[in-house]
Structure 1
Amino acid sequence: MKKLNILALLLFIAAVVSVFTLDTPVTRDIQSRTMTVLSPFIHSSAAVEQSVTGSSATVEDPRELARENERLQIEVERLRIISQKYAQTLEENNKLRSQLQFQEAAPFKMTAARVIKRVSSTWWNSMIIDKGALDGLATDSPVISAAGLIGKTGKLAPHMAEIILLTDEMCRVSAKIEGSHEQGILAGERAGLDMRPDLRLRFLSKNILLNPGANVVSTGEGGVFPAGLLIGRVKRFENRDLSGEAIVEPAVDFALLEHVFVVEMQPVTEPEATVETAPQAAVPNQ
């Protein structure tokens, strides 16, 4: 490059520097005009810078969103647990209220008890409740729920009692089929531990017509169970060699028992006869 050109370039640079560094009316006017010409480029560069800054900030957003999402999931799980506990408490309160109403409306005196033990080997035969002899219970007392007859009391301890269930073949009940004149003896039968035994109402007439779903209730005969307790419903009828049998579906779900009522059977006493004595005649004075 020629020396003249280099000298001209240096003079131009010096002029530009003086224009942007000196504070005079002329230089300020030149600066304003220059800013006006360059303003579109300045705005474009600012927008590009903001876009780049925003992009670098968005790189950290997924981590923050992940933390917020985890916090919300924990909160949702906490609220779900609270909701489940509330529903369980409400269901338990409704059960207790229903049992209380049933106990108050029952025509006989009853003691409420809670099931405290079930053994897998005797699941369909017996269970243990938390009331016993010192709580006023007696052997061979009927045990019921709002759904129907459960069984009767067996062995007693001071504050525990064994309940012999209807599904045990040793628990026999005099029962009849509503809507007919048929009655017989109902009991459970031996079955595998994993299968609920059927209830069988034996000693019925042969070749009778029974409607499936007919109620089976206690007759009150025998003195153990009061009359009119719902036992179950007829599933089907079977003819045997000497008599007929009805297969009965229990009204109570024995697998879900939690609370029961033990009925206190009041002994029937005859009213004492009153002996009337004739009034004695007055004896006249001698």
Structure 2
Amino acid sequence: MPQFFLNKRLIILLVSIIVLVALIGFSLRERSNLTWPEQFLKDTTGWVQSLVSKPAHYLAGFFENLQDLQNTYEENKELKSRVEKIASLEAEVQELKKDNKDLREVLDETRTLRDFEPLPATVIGRNPDRWHEMIIIDKGKSNGIKKNMAVVTSSGLIGKVKSVTQFSSTVQLLSAMDPKNRISAVIQGETEVFGFVQGFDDKQKLLLVKAIPSGAKIEKDQAVITSGLGGVFPKGLTIGKVVEVKPDQYGLNQTALVKPGADFYDIENVIVIKRLMTQPEKGALKDGKEEEL
């Protein structure tokens, strides 16, 4: 009798294994419709997952909102401190402007190297083969445009007027690989450091400010502007910010890599800068080889 039950259990086990393998094979087959047990199991599993996932997502979202609230609080606190500083700086700037104006009236000197007249213009042409070198604008001699005038966008200096016709002008960009294109610049800081924007690193998309004294201390993110000493450009036009400083190939001077403030790739509207300060006589600032602005 025990032998009979033992054989019966073995037979049931073998049959169960065969049925299980058959069901697995059947379920792995590509089918367009599921059987009702599979549908029931799938629906039940989906319902349980939904029941568990909704509270989990709610808790996760709750903690995320708490983190966002904390971040917003910290950002708001920092922005408030900045606003307070800006208000203080604005008051100081207004006071300095008033003092500067009063002093100039006393000295009967009303113009500075920063004074200029803006002449708005639109880009009307750009050669794909010289995309990073030249643009053509819709203003020319009839609008008072002259050679070597600075050209800027709302973000900063982009170049200078290279040639002028009666109704249009060609502008040479700072990203042009022209070693003769030099612009007198100053790196702002506790002590102003002078140099020349001369060259463009095409790989890093950075301007090269050369002829910086080897002993000058320059830090990252210091602002670079035009010096106004070149004779044509007014002082204070934004050029960019310092990214890195390295010695030149001879070790006598330094070269600053500067991230341009303006985007040389996408240019639609520009402003040509007409300097109001008296300009030096033509040729007075030339050394016979290169032109400085």
Provide the TM-score with structure 2 as the length reference.
0.51
- In structure 2, what is the Cα distance between the partners aligned to 1:190 and 1:229? 21
- Matching residue of 2:29: none
Partner SS for 1:134: helix
Partner SS for 1:184: strand
- Matching residue of 1:189: 200
**1:197-253 per-position Cα deviation (integer Å, ceiling 9, x unaligned):** 531111112254422111001111121211111100001011121211100110001
| Aligned amino acid, residue 259 of structure 1 | N
**Which of 98, 112, 116 does residue 120 from structure 2 map onto?**
112
Q: Does 1:234 align with 2:242?
A: yes
- In structure 2, what is the Cα distance between the partners aligned to 1:121 and 1:161? 18
What is the percentage of aligned positions where both structures have the same residue?
30
Comparing 197-206 with 109-118, greater Cα deviation is found at 197-206
- In structure 1, what is the Cα distance between the partners aligned to 2:233 and 2:175? 16
- Matching residue of 2:260: 250
Q: In 1, are the aligned partners of 2:174 and 2:200 still within 8 Å (CA)? A: no
- In structure 2, what is the Cα distance between the partners aligned to 1:116 and 1:236? 35
- In structure 2, what is the Cα distance between the partners aligned to 1:196 and 1:120? 20
Q: Give the structure with the larger strand fraction.
A: 2
After TM superposition, which residue ranges in structure 1, 4 or more long, deviate above 4 angstroms? none
Q: Does 1:140 align with 2:151?
A: no
Q: In 1, are the aligned partners of 2:116 and 2:234 still within 8 Å (CA)? A: no
**1:28-52 per-position Cα deviation (integer Å, ceiling 9, x unaligned):** xxxxxxxxxxxxxxxxxxxxxxxxx
Q: In 2, are the aligned partners of 1:186 and 1:201 still within 8 Å (CA)? A: yes
Q: In 1, are the aligned partners of 2:121 and 2:139 still within 8 Å (CA)? A: yes
Partner SS for 1:121: helix
| Aligned amino acid, residue 187 of structure 2 | I
Q: Does 1:130 align with 2:138?
A: yes
Q: In 2, are the aligned partners of 1:141 and 1:263 still within 8 Å (CA)? A: yes
- In structure 2, what is the Cα distance between the partners aligned to 1:237 and 1:207? 12
Q: Does 1:149 align with 2:160?
A: no
Q: Does 1:220 align with 2:228?
A: yes
**1:158-211 per-position Cα deviation (integer Å, ceiling 9, x unaligned):** 2110001112234311111110332111122374xxx57531111112254422
Of structures 1 and 2, the larger Rg is shown by 1
**1:107-150 per-position Cα deviation (integer Å, ceiling 9, x unaligned):** 52121100111112211211101111122211111111221111
Q: Which runs of 5+ in 2 are unaligned?
A: 1-113, 280-293
- In structure 2, what is the Cα distance between the partners aligned to 1:137 and 1:156? 7
Q: In 2, are the aligned partners of 1:167 and 1:187 still within 8 Å (CA)? A: no
Provide the TM-score with structure 1 as the length reference.
0.52
**1:91-116 per-position Cα deviation (integer Å, ceiling 9, x unaligned):** xxxxxxxxxxxxxxx95212110011
- Matching residue of 2:218: 210
Matched pairs, number = 161
- Matching residue of 1:101: none
Partner SS for 2:161: strand
**1:1-28 per-position Cα deviation (integer Å, ceiling 9, x unaligned):** xxxxxxxxxxxxxxxxxxxxxxxxxxxx
Superposed counterparts of 1:1-286, under 5 Å: 107-168=115-176, 169=178, 170-179=180-189, 180-189=191-200, 191=202, 195=203, 197-206=205-214, 208-240=216-248, 241=250, 242-266=252-276, 268=278
- Matching residue of 1:6: none
Q: Which runs of 5+ in 1 are unaligned?
A: 1-105, 270-286
Q: In 1, are the aligned partners of 2:243 and 2:259 still within 8 Å (CA)? A: yes
Q: In 2, are the aligned partners of 1:124 and 1:197 still within 8 Å (CA)? A: no
Seen in structure 2, the aligned counterparts of structure 1 residues 116 and 196 have a Cα distance that, compared at 3 Å, is farther
Q: In 1, are the aligned partners of 2:115 and 2:277 still within 8 Å (CA)? A: no
| Aligned amino acid, residue 188 of structure 1 | G
Seen in structure 2, the aligned counterparts of structure 1 residues 196 and 155 have a Cα distance that, compared at 3 Å, is farther
